A and B are shown apart, each in its own frame.
Chain A
Amino acid sequence: MRAIIAIILCLCTSQAFSQYYKEYDWAKKPTLHELTEKEANESSISILEKYVVEYVVPKFGNKLQKFETTHTIARVHDEKGIKTHNTVYISMYDVLNIVDIKARTITPDGKVTLLNKDNIKEVKNVEEYGDFKIFAIEGAEKDSEIEVLYTLEKEYSAFGRETLQKSYPIKRLEYHFIHGELPGRVKAYRADSNFETRTYGESTGKQLILENVVPMIEEEYATPKSNKTYVAYQCFGPDTNVTDDMLWSNVVTNITQGMFPATVHPEIAKIAKTIIKDETADDFTKAFLIDDYVKTNYTIVQNNNEQLSDIDYIVKNKSASDLGIIKVYSHLLEAAKVEYLPVITSDVYEHKFDSEFFNPIALREFLIYIPKAFKYITPNRVDYRLSEIPPNILGNTGIFVNNKKQFSFYKILQKDQDYSRVVRNMNISFEDDMEYVQIEQNQEYYGHWAMNNRAYLNLAPEQAIKEFEDYLTGSGIEDKVVKKYEVKNKEMLQLEYNKPFLVNSAITSESLLEEAGDSYIFQVGKVIGTQSELYQETKRVNPIQMQYPNRYNYEIVVNIPQDYEVEGLESLIIKKELLDEEGNQKCKFESNYKLNGSKLTITIEEFYKEFEYDIAEYEGFREVINAASDFNKAAILMNPKE
């Protein structure tokens, strides 16, 4: 009897509705598409990428249905192009039912090879991504077209997101968001055109059509991944009126549960006493000690164990999820009477937070702000301790939640603009009858520089530490011999605010001194290490994002041998700057020298007060960056005195 009812239900639904995905199909007789000469020169090009998200209200029952259809046609021209398109991974996350998966290849001579569905493999619980269906495209040879079409019925969820920009060009891109009578919103980011309303049979929705989507290119000082074109949407049940404010508020309530404990967990209260021996210490000291304690006693675990957010379990096992660990901090900070605000945001290199369009993908990073110290705890970064905001978050918007569970959005910025800087003093002499150069160097690293150096030397594997020590004694000097290398203030636990990490070193090199007849060319520029050079043959795509504001002050003393005189010092004078509208320096590189007898003193000042620059400022910014690279090429000529 139950079976009969089920069949009747099925018949009813399929008759009453003609959903878009059911009508949609690929061409019965496929043929190769026309391409321009430029398109034919690409390793591969997508002729069509079409995404359809369709929400359906079933006739019976009140469970909303959601269908997602993806249809792609790609032309592959060489081995690299084939490899880009011939393996297909379909995420089964939230998938209730696979309506259909099909794929085919059309070769230049018109032969069509249909995917044998028996060759679709299932892969369960992949890392943190869930289950997948995977298959390799059959019959793809050079100049073929690979076509993939699949429709998945997914568990109803109100939100979704799709990255549209890929590593290959796309000729035509369609995004269809079919929500019918349901309240739905869709937003395109960094797209060249807008969504337009249209009908889909009896239903309605919005479509976005993009032509010639270029691949995102890798650029330095940029966040290319989070600058990709993408679409995000929301769709709710019939007759609801859900606002973004409600969504944020709801999420804040859920996420911050247990983050403002009324009473401190008794076990944690005991621990807090052992960590913080001086209760009158300031918030910076207390929060630093707490951060150091958690990072040397707790492990963040990424798996599906739900207990990892339960405070009793966490305290017992010293293991927590990335959200659960915030609770440990909360209890400790509460016990130590340190004011704190949980912060929810995302990695700025992965996703740019948009407070005006709720999107759960934006809620990936959890931090704690200590307002009295103006500093952040970054729980999932064992390489960090209480500090200015780490570079992967700097500049993104975050939700700051106070202990009354009120929340506000702020752009997350650095408080101390002079936080990260490097001071280097060098003394250079020529030894053994001009055989080699000796460089004695004292370096002071502050802020993020210091944090990074400490993390390397304490946490990295041996080989990486070796490479790092090479960097600390001067990169890019190929025949360098390290005579002395000492570091100070290496420990991760540093309670004095912004205490510098110190390196004292001495190296020798023969290659810095080149021969030219009886004269010598001293490659003085190389002593500052390899400097990055920004090329730009093509138009800059991404605005500039530096890791953090930065400053360098170098003093290089060169002791010229008594029986030589120097020439060519003018190459040491470089000045490049980028000014704002009021004429203030936003960034600068300036080098100069003084010659006092046989003592040549070179000074360099380079700084970047801002970490973000508009794309229109790119040329000016590039000149400053490249000025350091110019200095790196500076050389002076030493001639024997007559």
Chain B
Amino acid sequence: MTTSYLKFPVLLLLFVMQYSFAQKNPSEDFRFLERTENIKIHLDKGNFEIVKNIHEKAEYVTANKLYFANEVLRFDSFTKIEDIEAVTYLPDSGKKLEVDYIETKHEFDDGIFYSDQQTKNFTFPGVTKGAITDLKYKEVINEPHFLGLFRFGTYAPTEKAVLRIEFPKNVEIGYKEFHTENITINFQKEEKKNHNIYTWTTENVAKFSSEDDAEAALYHLPHIILHIKNYTENGKTIPILNNVNDLYSWYASLAKRVDESDLKKVHEIAEDIAKNYSTDREKAEAIYNWVQENITYVAFEDGLGGFIPRGAASVCKNRYGDCKDMANLLYVMLNHVGIPAYRTWIGTRDRPYLYDEVPTPMVDNHMITATVIDNDTIFIDGTDSYVNFGMPSSFTQTKEALIGISPERFVLKKVPVQPAEKSKTVINTTITFEDGNIKASEKRVMTGYERVDFVTDYLYKKKDNTEEEFLNTTLALGNNKTKYQNITVSPIESKYKELTLAFDLQIENYAKTIGSKTILNLNIDRVLSKQKIDIETRKYAKKIDHQYQKEYTTTFIIPEGYKVTSVPKPIKFDGKDYGFDIHYEQKDNQIIQHKSIYINTLRVEKEDFEAWNSFVKKLIKAYKKSIIIEK
């Protein structure tokens, strides 16, 4: 049986454009002539052996990107890399040079303290303009839940990409393509005596380049995910990853292996915390705060250990853990004080999949805890030390959570987007004008993710800089000569709902005094003014981390002996997803500017770029308007 189909033939024109891009663009320095993955599945008495034969052939069009000659192949305790054959062909001289030195290495990772991942490193010899490199190797997978994914496109243009999977007839395979709308894929099914073969072939796939403020590559890159659904032996069908049920039973079987001994101490801590509160909500909040404050994030990825949470007793004693360890600790503590809590698997916003689309471990990369209080499902992320109870971690919003109710039962539930009013910054500023310079005192009260972002930056982005310099570069108020004094920051722990940042400012070279007139712009904070999108070159939607509101009240005290001769007119932009309103009022000896800005979306789609730019442009226009005072 052979089927072949062309997806979305109307997009043929686009395809031609991409074809010419991949083929003719002289600015391409490096491209793949061929990328092939040939997967063979063997099944012997219920034991799977999965071998991927990988072949990559690449051409160095120029000598600008010779660093691509440094090849790194990754493997871990679920995979082995074997039979690496790597050769460089030099068409000019007809020479062939073989890679004769391969080193196995470890890498340190900022996010993961210990990982069993290792790399095979080698360098293609003799690469120069015109060189062609040819790499063949085997990846042997010993865990049938990890068939992985295949990228039709990658960081360099690909002339031909082929994925082929050969599997016994008693095995059923599932697959799902992502973002292949703009490429043409030829799909063939072949039936042999003992096995089936599926082949996907595509040609001339443009390269992928990442963009700032965009979703992760997997949101854009054409790729496919394969999974083993089940196999039949002696008339019995044994499921592997048929559907979410199977995935969940596998996760549940791993969760059963969690060490549940010696929980006395953990229970005592939970009881100790809970006894001070009367409602479940308060108890849950206090327990969550305790974990946020007392357990430090340290991640280990070690074989199946990377999937099985460490026992709550050990996490509690060691005072460190990764996401699954903290999720399990919260699960144990909350349940112990009578609050129903569940271990929950989830993909962060970097993973674009739904469980039903591809019921595989590719969907998730994170673990949290879900609790139900007064019929309200609350998602709790132990790894986010600063988010308030009741809000999920920002990077899990919109994502589908797999909530494990019992070893047999689970629920899929979407983590809700947190509305803008939950993440608010209220800014009150009083500005005075003395001796030609501007002085201001400002108070910022932050809630929700506005608060979390500030705390994280304050702790970790500040690095070795002073507080003054940190504020100068992050808030960028006035100009880069602005001096920050008397800085105070209220306590940062998650048990506090608000964070108050206060400081005084002195801004030199800001107000312009010419003759008797002084011109002064009250927009010392020009947030979003750099957010214009370059519509011509931008390829992907703009990602926004969280929805928020900012409310400014800026009071200018009119100095004695001055009168106001010009006040800007009100201006606003009233979008559904984003907008602002700026207006001024004059009261006694004050001019008060009221400014509010809101962002009610997590993504600006490509078709909305024009609207977004009108918003930003109008905001810039509003920022340009000054008041004038005269002696």
Instruction: List chain A positions with a Cβ less than 8 A from chain B.
Output: 79-80, 82-83, 86-87, 89, 105, 113, 121, 123-127, 134, 136-142, 167, 215-218, 295-297, 299, 301, 303-305, 307, 316-319, 382, 458-459, 461-463, 466, 478-479, 510-511, 513-517, 519, 521, 530-531, 533, 535, 537-538, 567-568, 571, 626, 629-630, 632-633, 635, 637
Contacts and interface: CB of A to CB of B under 8 A. Distances in A.
A478 B125 contact: no
A535 B104 contact: no
Contacts of B568: 515
Contacts of B126: 316-319
Contacts of A535: 466, 468-469, 472
Interface stretch (B10-18, B330-338, B457-465): B457-465
B385 interface: yes
A5 B535 CA distance: 81
Nearest to A523: B624
Contacts of A217: 464-465
15 contacts: A126-B107, A136-B318, A141-B294, A296-B66, A296-B128, A299-B125, A305-B103, A318-B128, A462-B209, A479-B617, A511-B623, A511-B624, A515-B624, A630-B481, A637-B512
A512 to B, nearest CB: 9
Given A79-B385, A318-B125, A511-B623, A136 B66 contact: no
Interface in B271-327: 293-294, 296-298, 317-320
B464 A301 contact: no
A458 B318 CA distance: 50
B26 interface: no
B514 interface: yes
Contact of A319 (B125, B464, B565, B623): B125
A307 B123 CA distance: 13
B66 A141 contact: no
A125 B105 contact: yes
Contacts of A463: 209-212
Contacts of A301: 70, 123
B532 interface: yes
A216 B464 contact: yes
Q: Interface of chain A, helix or strand or loop or mixed?
A: mixed
A137 B295 CA distance: 12
Interface of B: 63-67, 69-70, 97, 100-101, 103-108, 113-114, 121, 123-129, 209-212, 293-294, 296-298, 317-320, 385, 459-460, 463-466, 468-469, 472, 479-481, 509-510, 512, 514-515, 517, 519, 521, 526, 529-530, 532, 537, 565-566, 568, 616-617, 620-621, 623-626, 628
Contacts of B521: 514
Contacts of A461: 209
B298 A87 contact: yes
Contacts of B211: 463
Given A299-B123, A629-B481, 14 more contacts: A79-B459, A83-B296, A126-B108, A134-B114, A138-B320, A141-B294, A216-B464, A296-B63, A303-B123, A458-B64, A459-B65, A462-B209, A510-B621, A515-B624
Given A138-B320, A463-B212, A630 B509 contact: yes
A567 B628 CA distance: 15
Nearest to B478: A633
Contacts of B128: 296-297, 318
B510 A633 contact: yes
A244 B17 CA distance: 66
B114 A86 contact: no
Contacts of B526: 478
B626 A125 contact: no
Nearest to A219: B464
A535 B294 CA distance: 37
Contacts of A296: 63, 66, 128-129
Contacts of A517: 565-566, 628
Contacts of B530: 478
Nearest to A105: B319
Nearest to B295: A141
Contacts of A304: 103
A79 B383 CA distance: 12
A307 B625 CA distance: 68
B466 A538 contact: yes
B317 A113 contact: yes
Given A80-B459, A127-B107, A568 B318 contact: no
A568 B625 contact: no
Contacts, number: 188
Nearest to B515: A567
A125 B102 CA distance: 13
Given A215-B464, A296-B128, A138 B106 contact: no
B104 A125 contact: yes
A215 B319 CA distance: 27
B76 to A, nearest CB: 13
Contacts of A637: 512, 514, 517, 519
B125 A141 contact: no
Contacts of A299: 66-67, 69-70, 123-125, 127
B456 to A, nearest CB: 10
B125 A316 contact: yes
A511 B620 contact: yes
A637 B517 CA distance: 11
Most chain A CB inside 10 Å of its own CB: which residue of B63, B128, B529, B624: B624
A299 B296 CA distance: 42
A515 B625 contact: yes
Contacts of B385: 79
B318 to A, nearest CB: 4
Contacts of B69: 299, 319
Contacts of A140: 296, 319-320
Given A80-B459, A463-B212, A136 B509 contact: no
A568 B472 contact: no
Contacts of B123: 299, 301, 303, 319
Contacts of B296: 79, 82-83, 86, 140
Contacts of B101: 303, 305, 307
A459 B63 CA distance: 9
Nearest to B518: A516
Contact of A127 (B105, B113, B617, B625): B105
Given A87-B113, A511-B620, A567 B464 contact: no
A121 B65 CA distance: 37
B523 to A, nearest CB: 10
B106 A633 contact: no
A381 to B, nearest CB: 12
B198 to A, nearest CB: 33
Given A123-B106, A299-B69, A533-B480, A218 B298 contact: no
A80 B466 contact: no
A126 B121 CA distance: 12
B465 A218 contact: yes
B320 A86 contact: yes
Nearest to A464: B209
A101 to B, nearest CB: 16
Contacts of B459: 79-80
A217 B472 CA distance: 17
B106 A134 contact: no
Contact of A516 (B121, B460, B566): B566
B108 A127 contact: yes
Nearest to B123: A301
B504 to A, nearest CB: 14
